[in-house]
Amino acid sequence: MTLRKPPLRDVHDAAGATFTEFGGWDMPVEFDSIKAEHRAVRDEAGIFDVSHMGQIAVSGPDAEGLMQRLTSNDVSQLGRGDSHYSMILDEEGTILDDTVVYRLPEDDDAEYLFVPNAGHDEQMHRRWTDHRDEWGLDATVENVTDEYAMYAVQGPDAPNLVSDAADDSVIDLSKFEGRYAEFAGADCWTARTGYTGEDGFELIVPVESAEAVWDLLDCQPCGLGSRDTLRMEMGFLLSGQDFDADENPRNPYEAGVGWTVKLDTEFVGRDALEQASEEGTDDEFVGIKLVDRGVPRHGYDVTDTDDHVIGEVTSGTMSPTLGEPIALGYVPSDFADPGTVVRVVVRGQSKKAKIANTPFLND
């Protein structure tokens, strides 16, 4: 299969980046070093090319109705320029994808842009158009992924940096608020969102201006490697790893994102989730810290102190900020309290570990 390339693939290559396949895209994993990039974001600012994220635009008289029925959060609560985190579910309440939904500041009918994960854009476009047709709704659904680059500028210095680069300051935007702003003469959707735990912005940039805007945002370029360590320190979910409809089917309550589920709205998966909400879940998504030396990684078994397998690490790394081995994964609720001693099997060796609060960074 040919890998999809972000618009600046060659620019990143010339900058010395190494690349990895992610969701069918050939993406930069590292520019300098994961630790240096991670540190830049925690201490100053870094810019990530996240053009592999999908962009689906939904407009028309029934756009709100369509979004409401295909996402778990309540889009009717979004004012113009607001956004929120939401889940896309199947009838059983299993997470198919997680996404940020932006309500664009249009004057007439509500218009939305949502951002599915890498490689999910075509699937989600199909899901939206199929349901629109099935329900007879009047909405236009466009997959505009290839028309835009997407950048995330994150870190304590990011607000000033992005604001200085924009023709008009965007520093007044609140968390999860966005507006169109001009960068290098291009109208870019600019929202105070991100995936690192730091303050910062995400910009959706017309592809013809991709390089000019990237050059304007002059800070440490960061790859997917540091994006992963930063999001793990926050305990944020990674699609395809911490949940996966085929390999690791989870509902939002198990995955610790039950707050994105608004049962007083009608959406696909609602009834199954109402039941799950009443019955509770067997497993919980937790943070784990290794007490013994070693590095926990995706797929490693989690056991009780008698070596019975009780769960699995879904994400793990050596935290660059804390200097400690951290992991995320699912364990039975009986084992989910912070401080509970468990073990992680690291390449055949059982290592002592403890359930930890997330975000690890604030623990």
Q: Is residue 34 close enough to count as binding other proteins by CB under 8 A?
A: yes
Residue type, 130: D
Q: Is residue 65 close enough to count as binding other proteins by CB under 8 A?
A: no
Dist. CA 195–CA 207, nearest whole Å: 22
Q: At closest approach, how far in Å is the CB of 318 from other proteins?
A: 4
Contact mark string toward other proteins, 147..166, x via CB under 8 A: --------------------
Q: At closest approach, how far in Å is the CB of 127 from other proteins?
A: 32
DSSP structural state of residue 79: P
Nearer to other proteins, 23 or 325 (CB): 325
Q: At closest approach, how far in Å is the CB of 205 from other proteins?
A: 28
CB 357 within 8 A of CB 363: yes
Nearer to other proteins, 110 or 344 (CB): 344
Q: Is residue 229 close enough to count as binding other proteins by CB under 8 A?
A: yes
Dihedral of the CA atoms 33, 39, 42, 48 (nearest 10)?
A: -20
Q: For residue 265, what are its two tokens?
A: 């709205």
Nearer to other proteins, 42 or 192 (CB): 42
Member of 92, 295, 350, 352 binding other proteins (CB under 8 A) = 295
Nearer to other proteins, 193 or 220 (CB): 220
Q: Is residue 28 close enough to count as binding other proteins by CB under 8 A?
A: no
- Listing from the earlier edge strand, what are the strands of the sheet with 56-59? 83-89, 95-104, 111-115, 56-59, 140-143
3-class DSSP assignment, residue 166: strand
Member of 3, 216, 318, 361 binding other proteins (CB under 8 A) = 318
Q: At closest approach, how far in Å is the CB of 35 from other proteins?
A: 4
Nearer to other proteins, 93 or 329 (CB): 329
CB 44 within 8 A of CB 155: yes
Q: At closest approach, how far in Å is the CB of 40 from other proteins?
A: 14
Member of 22, 30, 139, 149 binding other proteins (CB under 8 A) = 30
Q: Is residue 40 close enough to count as binding other proteins by CB under 8 A?
A: no
Member of 29, 58, 276, 310 binding other proteins (CB under 8 A) = 29
Member of 79, 134, 279, 293 binding other proteins (CB under 8 A) = 293
Q: At closest approach, how far in Å is the CB of 33 from other proteins?
A: 5
Q: At closest approach, how far in Å is the CB of 282 from other proteins?
A: 31
Dist. CA 343–CA 272, nearest whole Å: 33
CB-side neighbour CA atoms (13 Å) of 168: 9
Dist. CA 70–CA 91, nearest whole Å: 10
Nearer to other proteins, 147 or 312 (CB): 312
What lies within 8 Å, CB to CB, of 269 at 6+ separation is: 72, 89, 90, 91, 92, 93, 94, 251
How many other CB atoms are there within 10 angstroms of residue 332's CB atom?
14
**Strands (E) located in the chain:** 18-22, 25-30, 46-49, 56-59, 83-89, 95-104, 111-115, 140-143, 148-154, 178-183, 186-191, 200-206, 220-222, 283-290, 301-303, 309-318, 325-332, 341-346, 349-356
Maximum pairwise Cα distance, the chain: 63
Nearer to other proteins, 272 or 295 (CB): 295
Q: At closest approach, how far in Å is the CB of 38 from other proteins?
A: 9
- 50 burial (CB, 10 Å; 0-12 / 13-18 / 19+) is buried
Residue type, 336: A
Q: Is residue 225 close enough to count as binding other proteins by CB under 8 A?
A: yes
Q: At closest approach, how far in Å is the CB of 125 from other proteins?
A: 32
Q: Is residue 294 close enough to count as binding other proteins by CB under 8 A?
A: yes
Q: Is residue 117 close enough to count as binding other proteins by CB under 8 A?
A: no
> Interface with other proteins by CB under 8 A: which residues?
16, 29-30, 33-35, 225, 229, 293-295, 297, 317-318, 320, 325, 347
